[in-house]
Amino acid sequence: MSPMAQAAVEHYVGLSKQLNSSEVNADVVTARQRAQTVLLAQGFPTQRDEAWQYTRLVNFVQKRFEIATQRPDSTVDLNALQNFLPPLSPSFEVIKLVFVDGCFHADLSDDLLSLPKGLTIQFTTAQLPDEKRVDSEAFAVLNQALLSDGFTLEVSQNSAIETPVWVLNIQTKSNQLNNLTNQVQVASNAELTLIQQFVTLEGVEACTNVVTHVDIADSARVRQAVLQQQADASFYFHNQFVSQADNSDFNTFYAGMGSVLSRHQNHLLMNGEHIENSQNSACLARQKQVVDSRTDTEHNQEWGASRQLHKYVLADSAVGVFNGMIKVDRLAQKTDGQMDNKNLLLSSAAKMNSKPQLEIYADDVKCSHGSATGQINQDQIFYLQARGIPRNQAIEMITKAFLMEPVETINRSEVKKWVGGLLSHALLTGGYFSGGEA
Amino acid sequence: MLLNIKNLQAEIDEKQILKGLNLEINPGEVHAIMGPNGAGKSTLASVLAGKDNYEVTAGSVAFDGQDLLDLDPEERARKGLFLAFQYPVEIPGVSNKLFMQTAVNAVREEQGLPPLDMFDFDAYAKDKIELLEMRPDLLERSVNVGFSGGEKKRNDIFQMALLQPKLCILDETDSGLDIDALRLVANGINTLRSEERSFIVVTHYQRLLDYIKPDHVHVLYDGKVIKSGGFELVHELEENGYDEIVKQHQQA
Ligand SMILES: Nc1ncnc2c1ncn2[C@@H]1O[C@H](COP(=O)(O)OP(=O)(O)OP(=O)(O)O)[C@@H](O)[C@H]1O
Ligand SMILES: [Mg+2]
């Protein structure tokens, strides 16, 4: 590790110790201490680490992000936030939870006393995450070292929660590390729709580091959308550790529309039979942004079906990274796994690094993966122009259509429409087409 | 005159394809262009529509009194030039309907007319759908994606009917059409015929021409028009092929 990275590790271990000095929960103290040890031993990944080859942490390790000391922070301008919120808000009914600078904000959120039957939400670290799964990811280890905020959401057996839960995370201050640890537990035959949105005020240079654990019991159904819209100079790391039991269904969608460096990872264990899931994403990057999205899908039992479609649009000299692994255990016969990654480069300086992989130990399976990267087909542009549509508009139409395909996998129509609208707004107003050549 | 092509020369990848082509078209006329494979028929169509990988090295094209070669492809389309492609392009994710609504509104903007909203457009498109007996679901699908060869061709003629151009260039629209579709497309073309509207119909076969009865027939060979005549030239070609005409041309 470079001296710079070493110093960053020590800085965050210091913050962890500082948190522990005033911690009353002994379990939390132990968990943080354990993570400190792991972090000190493993450090932050370097370019030599294959999983971080294209997602370089040089800029991150130069920073010394702090954690908010006032909790909740009384200097936050609530009026400014009230004005900031409406354009982001879904137009459909939601259960709204708002975090500001990493702290839950009751004043901005819905009344937690009137939640639908079967749904409980808490903000204490009720249950500690599974250590072994966490250790393989540096940012999950960091998350545990700084364990303090986040939500724990439980849905009881047979409860279908109709109204989506919308968790809005707003970062208002620069130089802060917004460290969130979330737990989602959906019991047998229950149903949940969860939306997690990450935004910052304009110009904010902060770092969001999230771990979301999702436990899906047998026959339960979970739909999730994660929207990342942070300002250009912010960082985003999100590790999702998901496990599914028999006959459950998980559908997750990630929209990456911001940050200088962002990395969204699904670690998905299919620990039962007849499990279905669908993991999809639409990512946009321009200038020197690096947008990284990964999935690690383990088929461990028979008759599992996993579907994936990940699409990137890269402008200027942006870098896209996709890494997907489908692992099929020898017990997982009749597995049906499909993973596709398609990328559109709007400039010749943009780069995509794609690595879809299969590792199969069972013999009766149907698995496929594919990856394709290219620029817009000139014949398509000309066809639209030949019907009177200006070249710029033709490029926008084709690009938007390309990006919207994974959005179709969102199964609730109102969520689909809203997410599609946010993505298309980001694409058409975010300066992706100003670079000239296509 | 609606279109006046003088000594047009064009190349692609430094290979000259059009070698001094002349053609004059008056409003209301239907011209057929025939010629062997590789003669440059599609190249002519592409150059007229403004495809940018062709380089015009000499000559001029006046369209409705303006220098056509000076205009962007979209400006040509807005001013009333339409090309039905030999190979219509698939555009995944862009709905045929949104595409055509956008195109119709682009042309209307040029004409100083207000845009049609979704409902106005549906009403406007209805007759044309019936005229060409289009399957209504083709409008909801992505442009040409998963369309059969014949459906793609018919979709282009549908677009032509919607855009009401002044000059319609049809590049082998008849190839790949079944007998019924050919009749529908011919009928579509005949319905669009008017005193102001002109057609250039590129084809290898007599069948479509029997339906639409062109006023003039030209033989394009090696990048030039080597013979022009009336409808009788079609029969001559159908019987004797291109050999005789090419020989005469080479001797001259
Ligand atoms: N990119 C290119 N580089 C070199 N030659 C090309 C290129 N594109 C087309 N050509 C050549 O230009 C010539 C004219 O092609 P064009 O498509 O205009 O012929 P056509 O008359 O339409 O033929 P067909 O009846 O087969 O449709 C052909 O010899 C073709 O091979
Ligand atoms: Mg041709």
Greatest alpha-carbon span in chain B: 61
The pLDDT value given to residue A368? 96
| pLDDT digits 0-9 by tens, A378-436 | 999 999 999 999 999 999 999 999 999 999 999 999 999 999 999 999 999 999 997 64
Q: Which residue of B has its CA nearest to A406?
A: B93
Mutation to test the A interface, candidates B81, B91, B143, most A Cβ within 10 Å: B91
Q: How far apart are CA A32 and CA A21, in angstroms?
A: 11
Strand order of the sheet with strand A95-100?
Answer: A103-104, A95-100, A165-171, A191-200, A221-229, A249-256, A276-285, A305-314, A336-345, A366-374
Complex ipTM > 0.85: yes
pLDDT at A370 over 50: yes
B39 Cα–ligand 1 center, Å: 7
Contact B53 A378 (CB under 8 A): yes
Token digits for B36? Answer: 């062997």
pLDDT at A119 over 70: yes
Q: How far apart are CA A177 and CA A167, in angstroms?
A: 18
Mutate to test the pocket of ligand 1, among B16, B17, B44 (most ligand atoms within 8 A of CB): B17
Contact A401 B91 (CB under 8 A): yes
Closest CA to A54 of A356, A351, A375: A351
The pLDDT value given to residue A301? 98
Average of per-residue pLDDT across A330-352: 97
- Asked if A376 reaches chain B (Cβ–Cβ under 8 Å), the answer is no
What letter does residue A130 receive in the DSSP assignment?
A: P
Contact A390 B106 (CB under 8 A): yes
Question: What do you get for the CA distance between the two ends of chain B, in Å?
Answer: 29
Which A-chain residues 259-278 have CB contacts (< 8 A) with chain B?
Answer: none
Query: Which residues make beta-bridge pairs with A66?
Result: A176
Q: How far apart are CA A358 and CA A366, in angstroms?
A: 11
**Closest listed ligand to the CA of B46:** 1
Per-chain mean pLDDT for chain B: 93
- Asked if A408 reaches chain B (Cβ–Cβ under 8 Å), the answer is no
Burial track A228-267 (b if 16+ CB lie within 10 A, e otherwise): bbbbbbbbbbbbbbbbbbbbbbbbbbbbbbbbbbbbbbbb
In chain B the domains, ranked by start, together with CATH numbers, are 3-251 (3.40.50.300)
Bridge-based pairing state of the strands A235-244 and A276-285: unpaired
Name the amino acid, one letter, at A114: S
Mutation to test the B interface, candidates A379, A382, A387, most B Cβ within 10 Å: A387
Q: How far apart are CA B161 and CA B172, in angstroms?
A: 17
pLDDT at B30 over 70: yes
Q: How far apart are CA A62 and CA A66, in angstroms?
A: 13
Q: Which helix (H) or strand (E) holds A55?
A: none
| pLDDT digits 0-9 by tens, A134-188 | 888 999 999 999 998 899 999 999 999 999 999 999 999 999 999 999 999 999 9
A378 vs chain B: nearest CA distance in angstroms?
Answer: 10
- Asked if A389 reaches chain B (Cβ–Cβ under 8 Å), the answer is yes
* CA-CA-CA-CA dihedral for A94, A100, A101, A102, to nearest 10: -50
Residues of A in contact with B107 (CB under 8 A): 388
**Residue A376 burial (C-beta neighbours within 10 Å; 0-12, 13-18, 19+):** middle
Average of per-residue pLDDT across B210-229: 95
B50 vs chain A: nearest CA distance in angstroms?
Answer: 8
Contact call for residues A326 and A359 (beta carbons, < 8 A) = yes
Residue of A382, A387, A401 lying closest to B51 (CB–CB): A382
Residue of B53, B74, B107 lying closest to A391 (CB–CB): B74
pLDDT at A437 over 50: no
- Higher-scoring residue by pLDDT: A47, B19: B19
The pLDDT value given to residue A438? 43
* CA-CA-CA-CA dihedral for B176, B182, B187, B189, to nearest 10: 30
The pLDDT value given to residue A86? 67
Residues of A in contact with B103 (CB under 8 A): 384, 387-389
Average of per-residue pLDDT across A329-338: 97
Average of per-residue pLDDT across B223-233: 94
Contact call for residues B121 and B101 (beta carbons, < 8 A) = yes
The radius of gyration computed from the CA coordinates of chain A, to the nearest angstrom, equals 21
Contacts of A183 (CB under 8 A, 6+ apart): A126, A127, A129, A150, A151, A152, A153, A212, A213, A215
- Asked if A391 reaches chain B (Cβ–Cβ under 8 Å), the answer is yes
**Whose CA is closest to atom 11 on ligand 1?**
B38
Tell me the residue ranges of DSSP E strands in A187-275: 191-200, 207-216, 221-229, 235-244, 249-256, 261-270
Name the amino acid, one letter, at B95: S
C-alpha A74, offset from chain centre: 28
Residues of B in contact with A387 (CB under 8 A): 77, 99-100, 103, 106, 159, 163
pTM: 0.93
Q: Name the phi and psi angles at A308, rounded to 5.
A: -145, 135
Average of per-residue pLDDT across A343-350: 96
A397 vs chain B: nearest CA distance in angstroms?
Answer: 7
B203 vs chain A: nearest CA distance in angstroms?
Answer: 20
As a three-state string, the secondary structure of A168-180 is: EEEECCCCEEEEE
> Which residues on chain B place their C-beta less than 8 Å from a C-beta of chain A?
49-53, 72-74, 76-78, 82-83, 85, 88-94, 98-100, 102-103, 106-107, 110, 142-143, 159, 163
Give the DSSP letter string of A278-315. EEEEEEEE-TT-EEEEEEEEEE-STT-EEEEEEEEEE-
Outline where B6-79 has alpha helix (H). 41-49, 73-78
| pLDDT digits 0-9 by tens, A290-299 | 999 999 999 9
Contact B103 A382 (CB under 8 A): no
Query: Which residues make beta-bridge pairs with B169?
Result: B83, B200
Residue of B78, B90, B143 lying closest to A388 (CB–CB): B78
Token digits for B220? Answer: 């394009």
| pLDDT digits 0-9 by tens, A301-310 | 999 999 999 9
Q: How far apart are CA A196 and CA A228, in angstroms?
A: 8
Q: How far apart are CA A217 and CA A184, in angstroms?
A: 11
